[in-house]
Amino acid sequence: MNRRTLVEFITGWLLVLIGGIMTVLPLFGVMNIKAVFILTISLYGIIHLIKNILILSFKEYSGFSTSFSSLLVLILMFFLDITEPWNLALLLFIWVILMSLTKLKESDYYHDRKNKIWLLNVVNLVLFLITGIITTLNLYYTGEVQILVLGFFFLINGILDLMDPLVAFIISNNESTPKEKNKKKK
């Protein structure tokens, strides 16, 4: 597993962990949607920023775009009261749209390099959009339900982010296997 795949794999698991923790927060009485949303978006941006710094030598910059999207939503939170469900839904929708543009650009990057992972990225983009829109439409309940819905959204998003490095790892192992067999024959 090369460095880029390893860093993306660890990042994906961290995002799954964040989503998983969010889904159990209501069990512990955490109902402050503003604090949870700010912390989650901040962690998401910071994790992707660190990921991109670690894989800078691979000339992929989607992590910077993700961090910028998270920062923009954090700035917009100063102007909107996210304890109102409409404002929370609006901010999440803005974040989903910005992230979709990032994911689309990443798909185009892979497509330009004739890497078959671009198909997976397109499927991930569509699934991300569907879950983002469904989540946005279901944020009109109590704080407990909002945190739970957002937790499932970020859990699904983490799983989708985890698919890229897993498929890349599987493809690289399948491509290296015939080479290793040829070396053994010689």
What is the spatial distance between Cα 184 and Cα 182, in angstroms, rounded to a whole number? 5
pLDDT at position 179 is 55
The domain of 18 spans 3-164
Does 53 fall in a domain? yes
Residue 110: how many CB atoms within 10 A of its CB? 19
Instruction: Give residue 59's region: left, alpha or beta (phi > 0; psi -120 to 50).
Output: left
Does 112 fall in a domain? yes
What is the spatial distance between Cα 95 and Cα 101, in angstroms, rounded to a whole number? 10
Does 169 fall in a domain? no
Give the dihedral of Cα atoms 3, 17, 136, 47; nearest 10 deg. -40
Taking only the tens of pLDDT, the chain with its 186 residues reads 788 889 889 999 999 999 999 999 989 988 888 999 999 999 999 999 999 898 887 777 777 888 999 999 999 998 998 888 899 999 999 999 999 998 898 888 778 888 778 888 899 999 999 999 999 988 888 888 899 999 999 999 999 999 988 888 888 888 766 555 555 555
Does 128 fall in a domain? yes
